[in-house]
Chains A and B, each alone.
Chain A
Amino acid sequence: MLVKDVICIFFMLAGFFFFTTATLGLLRLPDFYARLHATGKGDTLAVVLSLIGLAVYHGFSLTSAKIVFIAVFMFLAQPTATHAISRAAFRCGVQPWTCERGVLLEDDIAKQGGEK
């Protein structure tokens, strides 16, 4: 087992973990905008981590440079796509889910979420 492989496995597993949380967020969160929070942030970091892992595994070559280029592109494009969809929803008048209309949560739980 080389050092390269260990670094690759670490990055890929971290990427997979954030992919999983992003997908669960896409499934579980209550409304459209909150789901965009999950995919917009989670997928960006997960894709970049996975691509870095693959580039490390492949070694130093032109192909790795291409992989890094894809990572840079995703880093720019993913927030933009998220913004485009959320702007479409905002212009269409989709109202965000709020505590009053959904399940009323207690104050201390909300504070705990804010501290993170």
Chain B
Amino acid sequence: MEVTLLVEATENAFRILGKAREHAIGVLDTAVQLTAEETRFFEEKRGQLLFTGAQRRKTRFQNFVGTTFILFAFWILLSGKFDAFHLTLGAMCCVLVAYLFHDLLFANVRVGDMRIVVARFIAYIPWLIQQIVLSNFHVAFLVLRRKMPIDPQIIEYKTKLETDISTVALANSITLTPGTITMDIKDGVFYVHALDQKVAEDLNAGEMEDRVAHIFMEADHLYVQDVLDAARIYGSLRV
């Protein structure tokens, strides 16, 4: 009787010990897994930080140099004096201002495709001037009539543009084209005041948005230069 009890108790003890061992193994496995994940996470984070830091320093220096040159050209345009004293003064002023405001002029600009953007923007200007002249004749036509044929309304216009500068270009183009002004921008929705039904339909056709998107290479364009830049910096860091 007592022997059987003893045997049962021993078996129970062994069973409990086995369970405990399994538990312990499970816990240890989880701990090892967690540690490995954590280490990998931190490594990735460190690499990322190193990468963004290097990129930021590089772009900051580029911005500084670019801002200095543009401002110095502007100074020469303003000053019109080419003796050594005034040029030195101008260079000092430009370096000071570029040091203080280097992050303003080129914020959110991708340096790689700057030339294409400028060329396309210059190609866009004649169309814009034609639209402005048309809009001025529209206003003159409205004003010089005895009875002004207008039917004002507010329309909402959803845009697919993402960056600041293209939004600004589209909004100012809308303001300058016939019969529409941009009243407000909220989360990519333009609230546009239109003078009559026809111009509202013209805007909703979206020709202007396509032109602006084509200039700034948005919504249908992969930034190849960006990928190449990032790959080069990252490779040099890893080696």
A and B, direct touch (CB closer than 8 Å) = yes
Listed in ascending order, the chain A residues whose CB lies under 8 Å from chain B are: 17-18, 21-22, 24-25, 28-31, 33-34, 36-38, 40-42, 44-46, 62, 65-66, 69, 76, 79-80, 82-83, 86-87, 89-91, 96-99, 105, 109-116
Q: How far is the CA of A83 from the CA of B16 in the complex (A)?
A: 77
Closest to B147 in A: A109
Q: 4 nearest interchain CB pairs?
A: A114-B198, A113-B149, A21-B140, A79-B175
Q: How far is the CA of A17 from the CA of B80 in the complex (A)?
A: 34
Determine if B172 and A25 form an interchain contact, defined as CB atoms under 8 angstroms apart: no
A sample of 20 cross-chain residue pairs with beta-carbon separation below 8 angstroms, ordered by A number, consists of A40-B176, A62-B77, A62-B80, A82-B175, A83-B181, A86-B181, A86-B184, A90-B191, A96-B152, A96-B153, A97-B152, A98-B151, A99-B151, A105-B147, A105-B150, A110-B196, A110-B197, A113-B149, A114-B197, A116-B137
Determine if B149 and A42 form an interchain contact, defined as CB atoms under 8 angstroms apart: no
Q: How far is the CA of A90 from the CA of B183 in the complex (A)?
A: 7
Q: How far is the CA of A80 from the CA of B77 in the complex (A)?
A: 25
Query: Contacts A87-B184, A116-B138 given: A69-B195 contact, CB under 8 Å?
Result: no
Interface flags for B138-151 (1: CB within 8 Å of A; 0: not) read 11111110011111
Query: Contacts A80-B172, A114-B199 given: A66-B183 contact, CB under 8 Å?
Result: no
- Check: B67 CB closer than 8 A to any chain A CB: no
Please give 17 more A-B residue pairs, beta carbons under 8 A apart, in addition to A17-B140, A87-B183. Answer: A24-B143, A25-B143, A34-B152, A36-B181, A36-B193, A40-B176, A41-B132, A41-B136, A42-B139, A62-B77, A69-B77, A79-B175, A86-B184, A87-B184, A91-B184, A97-B152, A105-B151
- Check: B182 CB closer than 8 A to any chain A CB: yes
| Minimal beta-carbon separation of A104 from chain B (angstroms) | 10
Residue among B137, B154, B181, B196 making CB contact with A113, cutoff 8 Å: B196
Q: How far is the CA of A116 from the CA of B53 in the complex (A)?
A: 55
Chain B interface residue count, Cβ-Cβ cutoff 8 angstroms: 40
List chain B residues, Cβ under 8 A from A110: 149-151, 196-197
Interface flags for B65-107 (1: CB within 8 Å of A; 0: not) read 0000000000001101000000000000000000000000000
| Minimal beta-carbon separation of A106 from chain B (angstroms) | 9
List chain A residues, Cβ under 8 A from B140: 17-18, 21, 42
| Minimal beta-carbon separation of B115 from chain A (angstroms) | 20
Determine if B199 and A30 form an interchain contact, defined as CB atoms under 8 angstroms apart: no
List chain A residues, Cβ under 8 A from B166: none
| Minimal beta-carbon separation of B234 from chain A (angstroms) | 38
Q: How far is the CA of A25 from the CA of B206 in the complex (A)?
A: 28
Q: How far is the CA of A37 from the CA of B197 in the complex (A)?
A: 15
